[in-house]
Structure 1
Amino acid sequence: MEENEKRRINTVKIFSILLLLTGILLILVPVIKTYLNTKRNNDVIDEFLKQSENAALEIEPLQDEEVEAFYIPPELSDDNTQTDLNNSPSPEPEPPVSDEPAQSPEPSKKPGMTKEEMKKRTSGVLIIPKIDVKMLIMDGVDDETLRVAAGRLPYTDNFDEIGNCVLAGHRSYTFGKYLNRLDELDIGDKITIQTKDKTLNYTIYNSKIIEPDDFSIIEKNDTDKILTVFTCHPPGIGSHRLVVQALQDN
């Protein structure tokens, strides 16, 4: 009888301990998950800040002679492009020609973008390890933006969205600067975009050369997350566009 009673007491103790441990685990698991998720998010943010700071430190704004060759048609740089392509306004009559030679207006030199402006406008960092590229990413393809960053065409999709995110960047005449070596990329090479929230990895599946007014690079995609990066080609002439397209990894 005493042995049976001891066994019963031991069983109750073991069961109580198991219940206690289970309760502790139920309390700890959400806490641990929250800690790990917070740490992961902080790590990604820290990595973004580090990468964007490093990229900003490496920036040497392009000089006038390096940006003249890269012309982006208004159809590719206007927020209302998709509407405008279908509803093109009638051309305005040309003003009468004067006999006096026209004087070219003095170009207005706008101050370069400050580091504070860069930080505010930066939405990600474009990283291409094979060609040692690390560029800030900002919205817009105006001259001021493209002198310091890769610009996202405003009406294209955002990072990590099903669709087509299109980035434009200067090639520069200097070897290794900006997208100067984009033509060295092959099918299967990797591209990374680091944002404040996550690290997005892409695999290149297409590379081609197109005319400047070829709008196929902004075509919508309803199934995959596509990243399109393009620049002028060849360097110093810019008569065409070099396009690299990559598919986001699962």
Structure 2
Amino acid sequence: MLRYAVGHFPTTAQAGEAGNFCLAGHRSYAYGAFFNRLDQLRAGDALIVERNGETFTYSVSEILVVEPDDTWVLNPTEDAQITLVTCTPIRVGTQRLIVKGVLQQ
């Protein structure tokens, strides 16, 4: 599925809900380019998610690089957050680029 779309981690919250809404996508040239520019985001940037006719705006709060087995980034949260996960560096993918945000509206 990730070759053609961004995927939702099914055990995580939905957009706009309390909890950690987690999405994964490629940032390569071989498959989907959905997260190709994820590394250009900065703290405070807006992440806009549309779901079932509703729009949710998150503000980037943290950007980090972790190892592939650092699954703690998917842990549930009390407040409404978003976590975007992709491979880094591009074309190599030995680590994971994580962008976290908090729901604004």
What's the offset of the Cα at 1:161?
A: 0.9
2:52 match: 196
2:68 corresponds to 1:212 = yes
Structure 1: 4+ residue segments shifted above 3 A = none
Alignment of 1:1-250 (within 5 A): 145-173=1-29, 177-222=33-78, 224-250=79-105
Identity over aligned pairs, percent:
37
What's the offset of the Cα at 1:178?
A: 1.7
> Normalised by the size of structure 2, how large is the TM-score?
0.92
SS at match of 1:146: coil
**Aligned residues: CA RMSD:** 1.2
SS at match of 1:183: helix
Deviations 1:173-213 (A, max 9, x none): 37xx3211110000000110112231111100000000000
> Normalised by the size of structure 1, how large is the TM-score?
0.40
Question: Relative contact order: is structure 1 or structure 2 higher (C-alpha 8 Å, sep ≥ 6)?
Answer: 2
SS at match of 2:68: coil
Q: Distance in 2 between matches of 1:150 and 1:219?
A: 19
Q: Distance in 2 between matches of 1:161 and 1:242?
A: 23
Query: Is there any run of 5+ residues in structure 2 with no aligned partner, and where?
Result: none
Residue-pair matches, total = 103
User: More helix by proportion, 1 or 2?
Assistant: 1
Query: Is there any run of 5+ residues in structure 1 with no aligned partner, and where?
Result: 1-144
Q: Distance in 1 between matches of 2:100 and 2:25?
A: 14
Q: Distance in 1 between matches of 2:46 and 2:53?
A: 20
Deviations 1:193-234 (A, max 9, x none): 112231111100000000000011111111x10010010000
Which has the greater radius of gyration? 1
Q: Distance in 2 between matches of 1:246 and 1:162?
A: 13
Deviations 1:63-117 (A, max 9, x none): xxxxxxxxxxxxxxxxxxxxxxxxxxxxxxxxxxxxxxxxxxxxxxxxxxxxxxx
User: More strand by proportion, 1 or 2?
Assistant: 2
